[in-house]
Amino acid sequence: MSNLCWIRRDLRLHDHAALSSSLEDGETTLVFVFDPHILDKLKNKEDRRVTFIYQSLQEMEAELQKRGSSVIVKYGNPEEEIPKLAAELKVKNVYTNRDYEPYAKDRDTKVSKKLHSLNIGFKQFKDSVFFEKQEIQTGSGTIYKVFTPYKNKWLEKFESQGKIISNYECNLKNLRKFLNPESILSIDWYKKIGFIETLPLLSGGTKQALKRLKEFESIIDNYKTARDIPSIEGTSLLSVYIRHGNLSVRDMLRVGTVQRSDGGKTWVSEIVWRDFYQMILDAFPYVEKGPFKPEYAKIKWMGTNEDFAAWCEGRTGYPLVDAAMRCLNATGMMHNRLRMVVASFLCKTLLIDWQKGEKYFAETLLDYDLAANNGGWQWSSSTGCDAQPYFRIFNPYSQSTKFDPQGEFIRQWIPEIAHLSAKEIHQPDELKAPDYYRPIVSYETNRRRALLMYSVVKNK
């Protein structure tokens, strides 16, 4: 008897909980399913994320072929494809890592039931987070809804277990020996799934991920302060690799715990934030469709569709916001500080529903992750758990002068104002920058309107 290991958002062959357990249990075959339920939602058939996944699978396939094995690739409903393949291969168990998104949980429940009817086991493992579900709870046994006490408990638990970071070793000698004639290296899977190869700025695969991780390790000491400056490479640029599982969360954590600097501690804190949002989505799945705080569903958003289009296209007349959005549209990437700036601007300056921004990010971000994206937007819009207070409204001009003081990032993405001085570029004069857009709204006027808009709901 043998096993089937179903890979999803864990595209690697190392430190992989499900794969490690499957290989330890017996001969293992790997399978990946291109899911129409997910792909059909992607409007752009030149979606960079599909190519990133494709590249990751190609790298995995090349490594497996060196060992006389392959990944079986399927296109179809996993509820049908996985049980069907498991039955054909006569496996005793299907192994996979847990996914905490509502669709994934429902899908896995249905797959499990079908496998059970075939007398095939379905074994799931914690892998994409360090602590999951009820592992971090309050003293009364409830889910934390505020980040800081959650983080303190997370760190306490981590310390209490001796800071042990498991490494799920994968004995690839136990892979089933076969070569797939329809592998990701043999045929054009882009054509089969209806997409066009579109190269992302960061290439998919574990080799690039590990290289990037090594580079980040050399600058992590400065991470606490450098991560806020979009014009320099002060962040890790690893989020896309952790999103698709080219790296494990444990790979990320090992770097942070080795470095005792403030930068290393800040990095670990970011990993804890990631666990927190996954936990919130898992425990309160309704946040996928609306605010964590139900009362904020009653907000009467006053912004216009025209202003939303201007925000999406980077023509609001606010340089830092426009530069950030143009960068996102061109690369699929956005600096974390800028995500907060543009999100606050959309909700509290343009007075537009945060869910429209969340959806736009979901369509464009290379590192899009439902839990993190949803959590970030609810934080910025003050509608989520442990969100910033509704009266905290980022001033786009002060954010610009503070985090891009010389206007270097702005110049890169808004060439029509690149000639302006460091002082002028944050709030361009119409006469000196005739080719640039005028501000589509008044920040001060709309700040007052935002406070009123939120307070009406808050005080009911």
- Count of CB atoms within 10 A of residue 197's CB? 12
Q: Which H helix or E strand runs over 97?
A: strand 91-97
Find the range with the poorest average confidence among 51-55, 56-60, 87-91, 159-163. Answer: 159-163
Sign of the CA dihedral with 376 first, then 381, 383, and 389 last: positive
Residue 22, both tokens: 């499957």
Taking all residues of the chain, what is their mean pLDDT, rounded to a whole number? 96
Q: Give the model's pLDDT for residue 58.
A: 98
Show the CA angle centred on residue 186, arms to residues 183 and 189, nearest 5°: 70
How large a percentage of the chain has pLDDT more than 90? 93
Stretch 270-280: mean pLDDT, rounded?
Answer: 97
Contacts for 416-425 with beta carbons within 8 Å, 24 or more apart?
417/319, 425/319
The set of residues, in sequence order, having a beta carbon less than 8 Å from that of 38 and lying 6+ positions away, is 103
Q: Among 354, 358, 374, 446, which one carries the catalytic annotation?
A: 354
Q: What CATH homologous superfamily does 2-127 map to?
A: HUPs (3.40.50.620)
What whole-number distance in Å separates Cα of residue 32 and Cα of residue 82?
9
For 6-45, write each residue's pLDDT tens digit.
Answer: 999 999 999 999 999 999 999 999 999 999 999 999 999 9
Stretch 127-152: mean pLDDT, rounded?
Answer: 95
Any idea which residue has 């996993």 for tokens?
A: 78
Q: How far is CA 385 from the centre of its chain?
A: 18
Q: Give the model's pLDDT for residue 456.
A: 82
Query: Domain spanning 294-458 has what CATH number?
Result: 1.10.579.10
Stretch 79-89: mean pLDDT, rounded?
Answer: 98
What single DSSP character describes residue 9?
A: S
- Is the confidence at residue 259, as pLDDT, over 70? no
What is the full DSSP assignment across 252-316? HHHHHHH--SHHHHHHHHHHHHHHHHHHHHHH-GGGGTS-SSGGGGG------HHHHHHHHHT-S
For 295-326, write each residue's pLDDT tens digit.
Answer: 999 999 999 999 999 999 999 999 999 999 99
- Is the confidence at residue 60, as pLDDT, over 70? yes
Residue 70, both tokens: 């392959």
Q: Give the model's pLDDT for residue 460.
A: 61
What whole-number distance in Å separates Cα of residue 370 and Cα of residue 172?
31
Q: What is the model's pTM? A: 0.96
- Is the confidence at residue 163, as pLDDT, over 90? no
Q: Give the model's pLDDT for residue 81.
A: 98
Annotation says 154 is catalytic: no
Residue 311, both tokens: 């925000």
- Is the confidence at residue 226, as pLDDT, over 80? yes
Q: Give the model's pLDDT for residue 9.
A: 97
Annotation says 311 is catalytic: no
Q: How far is CA 340 from the centre of its chain?
A: 15
pLDDT band at 258 (very low <50, low <70, confident <90, very high): low
Give which of 77, 93, 82, 79 is closest to 19, Cα–Cα.
93
Helices 336-348 + 443-458 axis angle, to 10: 80
How large a percentage of the chain has pLDDT more than 70? 99
Q: Give the model's pLDDT for residue 256.
A: 74
For 382-420, write each residue's pLDDT tens digit.
Answer: 999 987 899 999 999 999 999 999 999 999 999 999 999
Annotation says 379 is catalytic: no
What whole-number distance in Å separates Cα of residue 204 and Cα of residue 196?
16
Stretch 188-216: mean pLDDT, rounded?
Answer: 97
Q: Give the model's pLDDT for residue 459.
A: 67
Query: Domain spanning 129-165+206-283 has what CATH number?
Result: 1.25.40.80
For 173-186, write each residue's pLDDT tens digit.
Answer: 999 999 999 999 99
Q: Among 215, 336, 363, 424, which one carries the catalytic annotation?
A: 336
Q: Among 63, 80, 135, 270, which one carries the catalytic annotation?
A: 270
Annotation says 97 is catalytic: no
pLDDT band at 257 (very low <50, low <70, confident <90, very high): confident
For 89-119, write each residue's pLDDT tens digit.
Answer: 999 999 999 999 999 999 999 999 999 999 9
Give which of 28, 37, 38 is closest to 123, Cα–Cα.
28
Q: Among 6, 154, 311, 377, which one carries the catalytic annotation?
A: 377
* Residue with the larger pLDDT of the pair 261 and 407: 407
- Is the confidence at residue 230, as pLDDT, over 80? yes
Q: Bridge partners of 217?
A: none
What whole-number distance in Å separates Cα of residue 371 and Cα of residue 440?
31
For 233-253, write each residue's pLDDT tens digit.
Answer: 889 999 999 999 999 999 999
Q: Bridge partners of 124?
A: 96
Give which of 225, 441, 220 is closest to 337, Cα–Cα.
225
What whole-number distance in Å separates Cα of residue 26 and Cα of residue 190?
32
What whole-number distance in Å separates Cα of residue 430 and Cα of residue 432?
6
Stretch 267-293: mean pLDDT, rounded?
Answer: 97
What whole-number distance in Å separates Cα of residue 32 and Cα of residue 72?
6
* Residue with the larger pLDDT of the pair 194 and 133: 194
Any idea which residue has 């009364």 for tokens?
A: 140
Q: Give the model's pLDDT for residue 261.
A: 87
Residue 364, both tokens: 């464009």
The set of residues, in sequence order, having a beta carbon less than 8 Å from that of 369 and lying 6+ positions away, is 239, 243
For 433-452, write each residue's pLDDT tens digit.
Answer: 999 999 999 999 999 999 99
Stretch 116-127: mean pLDDT, rounded?
Answer: 98
Span between the terminal Cα atoms of the chain, in Å: 63
Q: Give the model's pLDDT for residue 173.
A: 96
Q: Among 24, 77, 273, 288, which one carries the catalytic annotation?
A: 273
Q: Among 63, 217, 288, 301, which one carries the catalytic annotation?
A: 301
Stretch 56-64: mean pLDDT, rounded?
Answer: 98
Domain spans, the chain: 2-127, 129-165+206-283, 294-458
Q: Is 451 helix (H, G, I), strand (E, B) or coil?
A: helix
Q: Give the model's pLDDT for residue 424.
A: 97
